[in-house]
C-alpha cells in the first residue's frame, strides 16, 4: 500500500456485519468509485462487540483512529471530515488508552487474539508480516518432533475446549503410537449458547490455526487433518477455505512443505450443528459419514481415532496458541497464570453485560475483574446476580463467589466448568429456575439418545422444571431433581449427559430459595415466570410514558407527568415495562 495515502479498514466479522458493517463498506466503495483516494481493507473482530461497526483510519504518518458505532451517516461524515478534510472526529473515535477502554484492554493478555481486528484475515501476507509461519519454519528446520512436544508440555498449555487435559501429553501419546497413518483434527464445533470464541478466531486469524495444526501434525507424525466447523459459521468456513488455498500456493501446506520431507494437508468438514458432535468420538464418527454418536473410551483417539488411526484432537483456541509458544518459548507462556493453569484464556462475554464481546485474560484473574472491571458490570444498571460458565455443560456461579480465580480446578469447585469460554452474565431480573430449564431444554434436545438416562432422565427433569415454572411445582420435585441428576451424571456415556444436570445442580445449590418460592409461594421474584408474577407501577413513576409507549399490548394508561396504571386483565406479564423504566418504578408482585 502507498505510504502517501490514507488507509481505511472496516471490521467485517460476523458481529460487525450484523451491526451494519456491509452498508458502511458499501458506502466507502461508492465514494472510491467517485474519486476518493484511499486504500481500503477489511479486518476481523477486535473483541469490542458492544460498539460495532468499527472503522480504523490510518493517516499518512501512521497514526490510527478507531471509530466505533459507525452508522451510514457517520461514515459519510468521517469521509468528508477526516479522509478528505484531514480533521479526525474525536467525538466518534475511541481512545484505547483512556477511560473504560483502559480497564477493558489493560487487564487482558492477548495471545490468541493478538491479530484479531488488526490484520486482514483474507490476506496471507498480513499474517506473514506479523511473524506468521515462522514457528512452522523453525520446527521443520530443526527437525526434532519430540523436542516440539517437550516445548508444548513445558508451556503447561491445557486443552481450551473445556476438558483442560495437557496438550503436550496428548501429543506425546499420539507420537508414541506408531502407525502408517495419523491424523490431527481441529474441533470447531462451537455449540454453547452465548459462545463465539472459535468463530471469531477462524474469521479473524485463520492462519494461526492452520500453522498450529501443521506444527502439531509434524510433532505427532500426522500428514492429514480435518477442521470440523459447524455449517452455521459460513464466513468462518469461507475464510478457512481461502486461507488453506493461500497456504498451499505458498508451499506451507501440501507436499514437501518449505522444501522439507514433511507433507501435510487440511480439509474442512462442515458439521450439521449437532451439539453432541463437539464430543470427540461423535465428531470423528460424523467425519467418517456416520451418525454423530459417542463411543466407549478406551481406546482413546491418540491410539485409535479417525478411521481407527492415531488422532490428535484440539479445539480452535488450543491450536492458535501453538505458534506463539514456539516463537516465544514455553517459559514465557508458563510465566503467566497459576500453578496448574498457565497462559491466557479467551472468553465471550454475553447476556446482561455492559461491554459484551471477546476478552483474553491471563489465567488467575478473578471473575469479578472480568465481569466488572473489563465487562463494566450489567448494561441494565442492576446488580449482577450470577454468571453461567461452561455453557449447557457448566453451571451458574453466584456473585458471592466472584473472587474465584480463572483456574481449571478453582472453577470446578464452584460446580461450574471452564468450558470453551462462554460467560453469560445475569442480573436480578433473571429467574434461576427458568435458566436451569432453558439449558436443560437445550441438552435434552441435543441428546443423541444413545444412553437411556440421558435420553429419558433429562426429559423427566425438564418436565419437572417446566411444571415448577408454571406454578404447579410440588415439594417432592426438588429431591426428585437431585436424584435424577445424580443418576444421569453417573450413567451417561459422554460428556453431554455427564454434565447436563450441572445448571440444575448449581442453581439448586446457590438459589434453592427461588425454587422453594416457586413451589410453596407460587411466586417468581424475577418476574420471568408469567404464571407466578404480576407487575405494578409504584409511586416512583414520573409519568415519562416510556412504559406505555413500549407495552406490546397497550395495557398501560396514564397522562404525561402523572402516575401510570397497568390493566392487570390485559397484561401479558412480559416485563417490558420494567426493562425500559429508567426510574425503577415497576415492581414485581
Q: Which CATH number does the domain housing residue 559 bear?
A: 3.30.70.20
Q: What percent of the chain has a predicted confidence (pLDDT) above 90?
A: 91
* One domain, residues 172 and 135: yes
> Alpha-carbon distance 58 to 38, whole Å?
10
Phi-psi region of 117 (alpha: psi -120 to 50; beta: other; left: phi over 0): left
Average pLDDT of 166-190?
97
Phi-psi region of 351 (alpha: psi -120 to 50; beta: other; left: phi over 0): left
501: exposed, middle or buried (Cβ count in 10 Å: 0-12, 13-18, 19+): buried
Average pLDDT of 45-62?
95
Give pLDDT, residue 419.
Answer: 85
Q: Report residue 82 as a C-alpha cell.
A: 477526516
Q: What is the pLDDT of residues 485-508, one digit of tens each?
A: 999 999 998 888 999 999 999 999
* One domain, residues 214 and 274: yes
DSSP state of 22: H
Q: Is residue 226 part of a domain?
A: yes
- What are the residues whose beta carbons fall under 8 Å from the beta carbon of 236, sequence distance 6 or more? 14, 188, 198, 199, 202, 203, 206, 229
- 8 A C-beta contact, residue 239 and residue 202: yes
Check the CA dihedral 487-490-496-502 and report its sign: positive
The CATH number covering residue 45 comes to 3.40.30.10
> Alpha-carbon distance 554 to 100, whole Å?
39
DSSP state of 402: T
- What are the residues whose beta carbons fall under 8 Å from the beta carbon of 27, sequence distance 6 or more? 72, 75, 76, 79
DSSP state of 371: I
Per-residue pLDDT band at 428 (split at 50, 70, 90):
very high
**Any idea which residue has 456461579 for its cell?**
397
Q: At CA 565, angle to CA 562 and CA 566, rounded to 5?
A: 150
- What are the residues whose beta carbons fall under 8 Å from the beta carbon of 397, sequence distance 6 or more? 367, 386, 387, 388, 389, 404, 411, 414, 415, 416, 506, 510
> Alpha-carbon distance 6 to 284, whole Å?
48
Strands (DSSP E) contained in 462-580 are 535-537, 556-557, 565-566
> Alpha-carbon distance 105 to 100, whole Å?
9
For 110, the 3-state DSSP assignment is coil
The CATH number covering residue 510 comes to 1.20.1440.230
Q: What is the pLDDT of residues 371-410, one digit of tens each?
A: 999 999 998 889 999 999 988 889 999 999 999 999 999 9
- 8 A C-beta contact, residue 367 and residue 340: no
Full residue range of the structural domain in which residue 14 is found: 7-94
536: exposed, middle or buried (Cβ count in 10 Å: 0-12, 13-18, 19+): middle
Q: What is the pLDDT of residues 300-320, one digit of tens each?
A: 999 999 999 999 999 999 999
- 8 A C-beta contact, residue 248 and residue 129: no
Nearest to 270 by CA among 244, 318, 316, 236: 236
- What are the residues whose beta carbons fall under 8 Å from the beta carbon of 455, sequence distance 6 or more? 447, 449
155: enclosing H helix or E strand:
helix 145-155
* One domain, residues 318 and 172: yes
Average pLDDT of 17-37?
97
* One domain, residues 84 and 212: no
Average pLDDT of 342-355?
96
* One domain, residues 396 and 460: no
Nearest to 507 by CA among 469, 536, 543, 470: 469
346: enclosing H helix or E strand:
strand 344-351
> Alpha-carbon distance 471 to 439, whole Å?
19
Per-residue pLDDT band at 29 (split at 50, 70, 90):
very high
Average pLDDT of 336-354?
96
Q: Is residue 106 part of a domain?
A: no
- 8 A C-beta contact, residue 321 and residue 288: no
* Residue finishing a domain among 477, 496, 521: 521
* One domain, residues 198 and 276: yes
Q: How far is CA 17 from CA 23, 26, 70, 527, in A?
A: 9, 12, 12, 34
The CATH number covering residue 149 comes to 3.40.50.11540
Give pLDDT, residue 104.
Answer: 82
Report the DSSP beta bridge partners of residue 39.
7
The total of structural domains in the chain comes to: 5
| Residue 2: pLDDT over 50 | no
Give pLDDT, residue 363.
Answer: 97
- What are the residues whose beta carbons fall under 8 Å from the beta carbon of 547, sequence distance 6 or more? 537, 556, 564, 576, 577, 580, 581, 586
Check the CA dihedral 272-278-281-287 and report its sign: positive
Q: Is residue 349 part of a domain?
A: yes
Q: Is residue 356 part of a domain?
A: yes
Q: Is residue 104 part of a domain?
A: no
Per-residue pLDDT band at 193 (split at 50, 70, 90):
confident
* One domain, residues 422 and 436: no
- Phi, psi angle pair for 254, to nearest 5°: 110, -150
| Residue 468: pLDDT over 70 | yes
* One domain, residues 362 and 385: yes
Q: Is residue 31 part of a domain?
A: yes
Q: How far is CA 4 from CA 30, 39, 196, 209, 341, in A?
A: 21, 10, 38, 34, 47
* One domain, residues 219 and 269: yes
Predicted TM-score (pTM) of the model is 0.94
Q: Report residue 536 as a C-alpha cell.
A: 405494578
- Phi, psi angle pair for 552, to nearest 5°: -70, -15
Give pLDDT, residue 3.
Answer: 52
Nearest to 216 by CA among 153, 268, 281: 153
* Residue finishing a domain among 521, 547, 563: 521
Lowest mean pLDDT among 17-21, 149-153, 358-362, 387-391: 387-391
DSSP notation for 240-291 = HHHHHHHHHHTTSSBSSGGGSS--BEEEEEEE---GGGGSHHHHHHHHTTS-
Average pLDDT of 562-587?
94
Give pLDDT, residue 189.
Answer: 93
Quick count: other Cβ atoms within 10 Å of Cβ 379? 16
Q: Is residue 411 part of a domain?
A: yes
Average pLDDT of 185-204?
94
| Residue 1: pLDDT over 50 | no
* One domain, residues 282 and 154: yes
**Any idea which residue has 506473514 for its cell?**
128
My answer on whether omega of the bond before 95 falls inside 30° of 0, hence cis, is no
Q: What is the pLDDT of residues 101-135, one digit of tens each?
A: 777 888 999 999 999 999 999 999 999 999 999 99
Give pLDDT, residue 380.
Answer: 85
**Any idea which residue has 417490558 for its cell?**
576
Report the DSSP pairing between strands 384-389 and 422-427.
antiparallel
* Residue finishing a domain among 299, 333, 367: 333
168: exposed, middle or buried (Cβ count in 10 Å: 0-12, 13-18, 19+): buried
* One domain, residues 174 and 303: yes
Q: What percent of the chain has a predicted confidence (pLDDT) above 70?
A: 99
Q: Is residue 558 part of a domain?
A: yes
> Alpha-carbon distance 135 to 257, whole Å?
13
* One domain, residues 204 and 307: yes
Amino acid at each position: 500500500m502507498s505510504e502517501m495515502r490514507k488507509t481505511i479498514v472496516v471490521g467485517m466479522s460476523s458481529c460487525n456485519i450484523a451491526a451494519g458493517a456491509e452498508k458502511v463498506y458499501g458506502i466507502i466503495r461508492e465514494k472510491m468509485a467517485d474519486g476518493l483516494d484511499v486504500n481500503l481493507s477489511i479486518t476481523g473482530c477486535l473483541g469490542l462487540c458492544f460498539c460495532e461497526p468499527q472503522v480504523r483510519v490510518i493517516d499518512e504518518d501512521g497514526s490510527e483512529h478507531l471509530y466505533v458505532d459507525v452508522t451510514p451517516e457517520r461514515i459519510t461524515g468521517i469521509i468528508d471530515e477526516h479522509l478528505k478534510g484531514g480533521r479526525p472526529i474525536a467525538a466518534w473515535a475511541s481512545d484505547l488508552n483512556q477511560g473504560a477502554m483502559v480497564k477493558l484492554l489493560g487487564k487482558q493478555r492477548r495471545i490468541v487474539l493478538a491479530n484479531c481486528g488488526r490484520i486482514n484475515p483474507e490476506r496471507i501476507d498480513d499474517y506473514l508480516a506479523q511473524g506468521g509461519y515462522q514457528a512452522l519454519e523453525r520446527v521443520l528446520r530443526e527437525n526434532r518432533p519430540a523436542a516440539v512436544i517437550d516445548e508444548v508440555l513445558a508451556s503447561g498449555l491445557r486443552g481450551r475446549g473445556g476438558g483442560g487435559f495437557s496438550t503436550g501429553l496428548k501429543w506425546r501419546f499420539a507420537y508414541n503410537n506408531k502407525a502408517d497413518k495419523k491424523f490431527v483434527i481441529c474441533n470447531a464445533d462451537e455449540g454453547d449458547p452465548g459462545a463465539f470464541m472459535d468463530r471469531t478466531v477462524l474469521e479473524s486469524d485463520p492462519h494461526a490455526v492452520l500453522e498450529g495444526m501443521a506444527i502439531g501434525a509434524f510433532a505427532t507424525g500426522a500428514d492429514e487433518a480435518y477442521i470440523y466447523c459447524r455449517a452455521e459459521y459460513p464466513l468462518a468456513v469461507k475464510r478457512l477455505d481461502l486461507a488453506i488455498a493461500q497456504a498451499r500456493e505458498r508451499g506451507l501446506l501440501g507436499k514437501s512443505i518449505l522444501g522439507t520431507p514433511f507433507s501435510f494437508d487440511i480439509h474442512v468438514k462442515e458439521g450439521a450443528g449437532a451439539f453432541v458432535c463437539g464430543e470427540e468420538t461423535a465428531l470423528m464418527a460424523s467425519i467418517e459419514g456416520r451418525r454423530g454418536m459417542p463411543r466407549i473410551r478406551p481406546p482413546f483417539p491418540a491410539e485409535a481415532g479417525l478411521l481407527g488411526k492415531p488422532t490428535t484432537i484440539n479445539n480452535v483456541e488450543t491450536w492458535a496458541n501453538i505458534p506463539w509458544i514456539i516463537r516465544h518459548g514455553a517459559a514465557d507462556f508458563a510465566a503467566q497464570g497459576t500453578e496448574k493453569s498457565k497462559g491466557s484464556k479467551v472468553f465471550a462475554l454475553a447476556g446482561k453485560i455492559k461491554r459484551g464481546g471477546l476478552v483474553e485474560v491471563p489465567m488467575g484473574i478473578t471473575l469479578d475483574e472480568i465481569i466488572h472491571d473489563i465487562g463494566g458490570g450489567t448494561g441494565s444498571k442492576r446488580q449482577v446476580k450470577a454468571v453461567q460458565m461452561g455453557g449447557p455443560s457448566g453451571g451458574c456461579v453466584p456473585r458471592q463467589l466472584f473472587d474465584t480465580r480463572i483456574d481449571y480446578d478453582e472453577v470446578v469447585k464452584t460446580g461450574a466448568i471452564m468450558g470453551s469460554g462462554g460467560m453469560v452474565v445475569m442480573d436480578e431480573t433473571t429467574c434461576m429456575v427458568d435458566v436451569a430449564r432453558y439449558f436443560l431444554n437445550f441438552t435434552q434436545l441435543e441428546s443423541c439418545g444413545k444412553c437411556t438416562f440421558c435420553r429419558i432422565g433429562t426429559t423427566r427433569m425438564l418436565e419437572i422444571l417446566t411444571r415448577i415454572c408454571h406454578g404447579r411445582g410440588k415439594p417432592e420435585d426438588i429431591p426428585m431433581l437431585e436424584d435424577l441428576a445424580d443418576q444421569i451424571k453417573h450413567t451417561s456415556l459422554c460428556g453431554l449427559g455427564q454434565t447436563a444436570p450441572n445448571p440444575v445442580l448449581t442453581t439448586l445449590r446457590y438459589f434453592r430459595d427461588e425454587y422453594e418460592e416457586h413451589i410453596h409461594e407460587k411466586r417468581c421474584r424475577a418476574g420471568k415466570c408469567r404464571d407466578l408474577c404480576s407487575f405494578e407501577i409504584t409511586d416512583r413513576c414520573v409519568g415519562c410514558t416510556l412504559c406505555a409507549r413500549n407495552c406490546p399490548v397497550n395495557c398501560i394508561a396514564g397522562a404525561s407527568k402523572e402516575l401510570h396504571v397497568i390493566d392487570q386483565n390485559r397484561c401479558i406479564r412480559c416485563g417490558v415495562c420494567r426493562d425500559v423504566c429508567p426510574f425503577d418504578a415497576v415492581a414485581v408482585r
